[in-house]
């Protein structure tokens, strides 16, 4: 192992012209709360792991605004942008002249040498509270260059005077469709006489925008809207509205131009909002709108998903600020909708029920009520139109339902329809549809109510529906690219009068050509005892043939239990034997004999069997020796028990478990057992593989000094669960410099709260008073305990944050990290790099030439390692798209990484290479994954924790959940605590 150290210092230099200085602590043996003072693995001055001199001397710290007015700041960059004009910063931030070598190992070494600083160099100031987004430090140069296409379409805008007017419609209407009908009628009625023949763009709520002023600053209009959907003999009813229009502001296109020319720091959100509304105005009138997407049966394929649900094709549209200018991001999309069928037909499909001669049981009636509530239905079979919103269904069959007339006499609903409409109710045993309020309900026979078209199905799709949707909408890159081109052509933006004539906008019909680079894969290190000690992955994948895990775990005490009633006992025991044999062949040390004979139980006795196993365990041979280290579980034949098993094992008994599907165990597949062995090893404390560059200490800004890499995510309940808590998870690396083992912590927080609340907190203890606590603090203490050193850098990958939440999350979460570190030791402020990881975006990258084997993988997608930081990326900020994985089916979605805060001075190449290389260290498979593993692990940990609260409703896998209400809006249920021995390993894998 090389002893090279001191690479990749935090290259922002020390000189910031400030007098407020503080001494920095070394990474030596400083006792933290709850820890013994220990030199550990190479403390200060010991050189224990070849780290070199970690002493940083006296350096200035910036408090508050970091925008020291330096005359040498780069032109075109506003003060406060986080750019430092010191010589040492410049030397590190320069574009490195990196070789185009295909060898990831050689490139890693060159990168390390490019950003090398000597141990004596004064480092940049440590973290401060200044929170301005990071300016791009330059463009990446590493990798093989090529051209690809992206589904971004250049938008040109003529110089127009824009005006924003507030709109108030009275009486107030919730429906955007009605609002649009009102404004369309207003423009048609008053366009020539009062609006100077201008056509405004309307957002459907409170704002209209015009190109040029209206001939008034404030005016009120009367609008008569004809409503055709009215019961009775007449076919129309007039609805009268008053519409007040008042000048609100004048958005300035000049600010937009200045921003795109990098002469203005502040994003001109108002101008972008105007242009976005203009481009969305016409589609919003024609199609069903869901967020930023539009759907219609005429926009693409339409088909059934089962259970009364169908999918519609459509497209996503978003106007974005990019380096090439204004860009319209367009992607094809699909969503689930209710089928426009009779309610009785829906019940047949939804409940798989065909006999209506008997009343629905209570369980089915509740299911139907939940499925139908708030839907709009149209009354069929009559010579007039009527639309109603379902508020519920009756608790008794319609034949037993009666109401009181004005003369206080009683009449049944069945009698009413027979006398009023000469209609005999067909299904008297079914409940009635209820509309209106509880105090004044209206009842309708189910067979007369047809579900109105175009109503989105917002509940979670079941497995069959998900499979059907994926099968129907999965498109290879050539098909998807053609579908996007067809959608742009169909929309005809340049032929829309409002877009082209009124506002002078034009949209190109060609996908953007983008310069990209393909980063080389990293060299992966395996154990020296294997035939293959190193592997250079090809097309994002490799295998375990002739390889042994770099650190095989030792499992002395284990046993197994089967809850499958269909799996033969002899076959079950053969599976256990072959699985443990596979673990041994891949480098683990497993006791050949289980600590107790295999247990066979039934799905009805899961908890009893698990507790009995724990109770029967022999005592540890010595104090402090581990108890049961591994429990191999064969799941019941029917899904639904996975969450219960995990909750009991991980939060009550302190047992690490590995669940296996019975249908997989039956096959005795070596490939399946190999994959399970990878999971067992990391759950038992081992490592499968590590980056060779980590071993050789040549990962810039990571291996030169103690660094902890964290991943964080928040998962929210499904729509319709109004009070279930959101669950946050934070994982952190515990094995610097290898950065492969991640410890996981979870916490529950308020419903749909995105900011992680428990990163740092003060807890009132009855004996000790206020006590410091929180996820970050616990991870830092665990890192110190595992490595003997304090982290001097924190790399924080944050998943699941939308662009609108960037500032809020950055402000609160970086502040919480600072408070957590300072609570451990006054003045302890490790440098932070805060990176947002986004997968839920609609940018897609396509090869310039489909079918070219040199530029595509086996699935026809762009190559793994393809990175883009030009043209379609942010004009000034530090972001990039990285396609780190090989496609399997459909079109690959690249991950989008956006650096919001960076004290460590990463160059573009250093961060892009680090991110791509980490994607090859995911523990569960021998493939590179699509998002950086810390973020992926946090996602898995958060979903695991949801099982602890909803175990009776889980479906048997780490990506499948059903939610149940477990808290009220004012009270957050606490998660059961994970046992210490469990959370110290990668239990969530």
Nearest to 55 by CA among 122, 144, 125: 122
Ramachandran class of 861: left when φ > 0, alpha when ψ lies in -120 to 50, beta otherwise: beta
Buried residues in 823-858 as b, exposed as e (16+ CB within 10 A): bbeeebbbbbbbbbbbeebbbbbbbeeeeeeebbbe
CA atoms within 13 A on the CB side of 347: 27
Cβ neighbours of residue 34 under 8 Å, at least 6 residues apart? 781
Q: Is 386 exposed, middle or buried (0-12, 13-18, 19+ CB in 10 A)?
A: middle
- CA–CA separation, 788 and 40 (whole Å): 4
Token reading at 57: 């001397």
CB 168 within 8 A of CB 244: yes
H/E run at residue 369: helix 362-372
- Name the phi and psi angles at 220, rounded to 5: -120, 140
- CA–CA separation, 274 and 102 (whole Å): 46
Identify the residue whose tokens are 């020296």. 528
Say what the pTM is: 0.86
Token reading at 310: 């169908």
H/E run at residue 703: none
CB 321 within 8 A of CB 492: no
- CA–CA separation, 148 and 514 (whole Å): 5
Q: What is the pLDDT of residues 293-328, one digit of tens each?
A: 999 999 989 999 999 999 999 999 999 999 999 999
- CA–CA separation, 862 and 884 (whole Å): 10
Describe the chain by its helix, strand, coil percentages, rounded to 5.
30, 25, 45
Residues of the chain with pLDDT under 50: 1-30, 36-101, 116-130, 229-236, 951-970
Cβ neighbours of residue 719 under 8 Å, at least 6 residues apart? 458, 459
- CA–CA separation, 251 and 576 (whole Å): 69
- CA–CA separation, 483 and 476 (whole Å): 11
CB 660 within 8 A of CB 676: yes
- CA–CA separation, 528 and 550 (whole Å): 8
What is the pLDDT at residue 335?
96
What is the pLDDT at residue 24?
41
- CA–CA separation, 736 and 836 (whole Å): 22
Q: What is the pLDDT of residues 891-923, one digit of tens each?
A: 999 999 999 999 999 999 999 999 999 999 999
- CA–CA separation, 182 and 185 (whole Å): 5
Please, what sign has the CA dihedral across residues 449, 454, 459, 462? positive
What is residue 674's three-state secondary structure? helix
Which whole-number Å values give the CA distances from 652 to 111, 121, 649, 945, 950, in the listed order?
Answer: 47, 51, 6, 13, 15
What is the pLDDT at residue 384?
64
- CA–CA separation, 822 and 799 (whole Å): 25
- CA–CA separation, 624 and 629 (whole Å): 13
Question: What does 54-114 look like in DSSP terms, one character per residue?
Answer: ----EEE---S------TTSPTT--TTSS----HHHHHHHSPP-----S-HHHHHHHHHHH
What is residue 363's three-state secondary structure? helix
Nearest to 329 by CA among 513, 515, 511: 511
Q: Is 455 exposed, middle or buried (0-12, 13-18, 19+ CB in 10 A)?
A: middle
Token reading at 293: 């997407």
Which DSSP symbol is given to 500? Answer: I
Q: What is the pLDDT of residues 223-246, one digit of tens each?
A: 998 765 443 333 445 689 999 999
Q: What is the pLDDT of residues 275-286, one digit of tens each?
A: 999 999 999 999
- CA–CA separation, 81 and 360 (whole Å): 65
Give the chain's radius of gyration (CA, Å): 32
- CA–CA separation, 352 and 620 (whole Å): 54
Task: Identify the bridge partners of residue 441 per DSSP, sorted by sequence position.
Answer: 436
- CA–CA separation, 937 and 325 (whole Å): 36
Per-chain mean pLDDT for the chain:
85
Cβ neighbours of residue 786 under 8 Å, at least 6 residues apart? 734, 735
- Name the phi and psi angles at 210, rounded to 5: -130, 155
- CA–CA separation, 144 and 166 (whole Å): 52
């Amino acid at each position: 192992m090389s002893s090279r150290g001191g690479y990749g210092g935090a290259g922002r230099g020390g000189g910031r012209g400030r007098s407020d200085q503080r001494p920095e602590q070394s990474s030596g043996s400083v006792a933290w709360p709850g820890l013994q003072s220990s030199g550990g693995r190479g403390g200060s001055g010991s050189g224990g792991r070849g780290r070199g001199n970690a002493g940083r001397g006296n350096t200035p710290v910036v408090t508050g605004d970091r925008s020291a007015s330096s005359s040498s700041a780069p032109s075109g960059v506003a003060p406060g942008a986080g750019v430092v004009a010191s010589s040492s910063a410049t030397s590190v931030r320069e574009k490195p002249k990196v070789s185009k070598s295909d060898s990831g190992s050689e490139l890693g070494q060159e990168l390390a040498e490019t950003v090398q600083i000597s141990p004596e160099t004064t480092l940049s100031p440590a973290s401060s509270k200044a929170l301005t987004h990071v300016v791009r430090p330059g463009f990446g140069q590493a990798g093989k260059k090529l051209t690809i296409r992206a589904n971004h379409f250049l938008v040109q805008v003529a110089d127009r005077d824009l005006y924003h007017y507030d709109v108030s419609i009275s009486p107030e209407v919730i429906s955007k469709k009605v609002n649009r009908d009102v404004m369309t009628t207003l423009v048609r009625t008053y366009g020539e006489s009062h609006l100077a023949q201008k056509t405004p763009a309307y957002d459907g709520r409170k704002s209209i925008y015009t190109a040029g002023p209206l001939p008034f600053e404030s005016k009120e209009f009367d609008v008569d809207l004809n409503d055709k959907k009215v019961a009775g003999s007449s076919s129309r009813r007039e609805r009268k509205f008053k519409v007040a229009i008042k000048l609100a502001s004048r958005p300035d296109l000049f600010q937009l131009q200045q921003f795109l020319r990098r002469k203005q720091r502040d994003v001109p959100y108002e101008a972008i909002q105007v242009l976005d509304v203009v481009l969305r105005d016409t589609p919003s009138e024609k199609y069903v709108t869901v967020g930023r997407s539009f759907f219609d049966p005429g926009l693409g394929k339409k088909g059934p998903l089962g259970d009364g649900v169908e999918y519609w094709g459509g497209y996503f549209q978003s106007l974005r600020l990019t380096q090439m200018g204004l860009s319209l991001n367009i992607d094809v999309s699909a969503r689930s909708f209710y089928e426009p069928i009779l309610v009785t037909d829906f019940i047949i499909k939804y409940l798989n029920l065909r006999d209506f001669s008997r009343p629905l049981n209570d369980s089915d009636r509740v299911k139907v009520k939940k499925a139908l509530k708030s839907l709009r239905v149209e009354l069929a079979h009559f010579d007039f139109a009527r639309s109603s919103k379902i508020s519920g269904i009756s608790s008794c069959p319609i034949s037993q339902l009666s109401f009181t007339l004005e003369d206080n006499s009683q009449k049944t609903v069945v009698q009413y329809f027979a006398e009023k409409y000469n209609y005999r109710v067909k299904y008297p045993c079914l409940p009635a549809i209820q509309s209106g309020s509880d105090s004044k309900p209206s009842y309708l026979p189910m067979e007369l109510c047809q579900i109105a078209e175009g109503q989105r199905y917002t509940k979670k799709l079941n497995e069959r529906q998900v499979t059907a949707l994926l099968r129907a909408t999965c498109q290879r890159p050539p098909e998807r690219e053609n579908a996007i081109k067809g959608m742009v052509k169909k929309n005809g933006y340049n032929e829309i009068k409002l877009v082209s004539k009124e506002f002078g906008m034009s949209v190109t019909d060609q996908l953007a050509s983008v310069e990209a680079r393909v980063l080389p894969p990293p060299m992966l290190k395996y154990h020296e005892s294997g035939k293959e000690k190193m592997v250079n992955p090809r097309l994002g994948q490799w295998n375990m043939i002739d390889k042994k895990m770099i650190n095989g775990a030792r499992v002395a005490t284990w046993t197994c239990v089967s809850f499958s009633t269909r799996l033969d006992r002899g076959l079950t025991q053969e599976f256990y034997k072959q699985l443990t044999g596979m673990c041994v062949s891949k480098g683990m040390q497993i006791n050949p004999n289980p600590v107790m004979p295999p247990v066979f139980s039934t799905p009805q006795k899961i908890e009893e069997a698990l507790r009995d196993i724990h109770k029967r365990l022999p005592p540890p041979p010595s104090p402090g020796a581990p108890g049961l280290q591994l429990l191999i579980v064969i799941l019941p034949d029917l899904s639904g028990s996975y969450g219960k098993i995990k909750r009991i094992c991980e939060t009550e008994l302190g047992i690490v478990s590995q669940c296996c599907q019975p249908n997989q165990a039956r096959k005795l597949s070596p490939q399946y057992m190999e994959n399970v062995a990878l999971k067992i090893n990391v759950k038992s404390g081992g490592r499968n593989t590590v980056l060779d560059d980590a071993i050789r200490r040549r990962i810039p800004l990571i291996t030169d000094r103690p660094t902890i890499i964290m991943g964080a995510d928040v998962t929210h309940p499904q729509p319709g669960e109004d009070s279930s808590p959101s669950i946050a998870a934070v994982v952190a690396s515990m094995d610097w410099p290898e950065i492969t083992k991640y410890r996981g912590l979870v916490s529950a927080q308020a419903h749909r709260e995105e900011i992680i609340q428990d990163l740092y907190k003060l807890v009132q203890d009855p004996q000790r008073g206020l006590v410091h606590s929180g996820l970050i603090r616990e991870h830092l203490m665990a890192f110190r305990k595992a490595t003997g050193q304090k982290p001097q850098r924190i790399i924080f990958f944050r998943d699941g944050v939308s662009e609108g939440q960037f500032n809020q999350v950055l402000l609160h979460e970086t502040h919480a990290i600072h408070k957590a570190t300072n609570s451990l030791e006054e003045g302890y402020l490790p440098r932070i790099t805060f990176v947002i990881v986004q997968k839920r975006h609609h940018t897609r990258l396509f090869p310039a030439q489909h079918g070219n084997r040199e530029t595509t993988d086996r699935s026809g997608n762009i190559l793994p390692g393809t990175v883009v930081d030009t043209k379609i990326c942010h004009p000034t900020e530090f972001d990039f798209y990285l396609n780190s994985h090989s496609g399997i089916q459909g079109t690959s979605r690249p991950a989008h990484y956006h650096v919001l805060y960076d004290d460590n001075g990463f160059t573009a190449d250093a961060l892009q290479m680090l991110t791509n290389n980490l994607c090859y260290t995911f523990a569960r498979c021998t493939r590179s994954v699509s998002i950086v593993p810390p973020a992926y692990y946090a996602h898995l940990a958060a979903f695991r924790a949801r099982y602890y609260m909803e175990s009776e409703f889980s479906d048997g896998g780490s990506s499948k959940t059903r939610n149940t209400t477990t808290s009220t809006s004012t009270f957050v249920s606490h998660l059961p605590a994970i046992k210490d021995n469990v959370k110290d390993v990668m239990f969530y894998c």
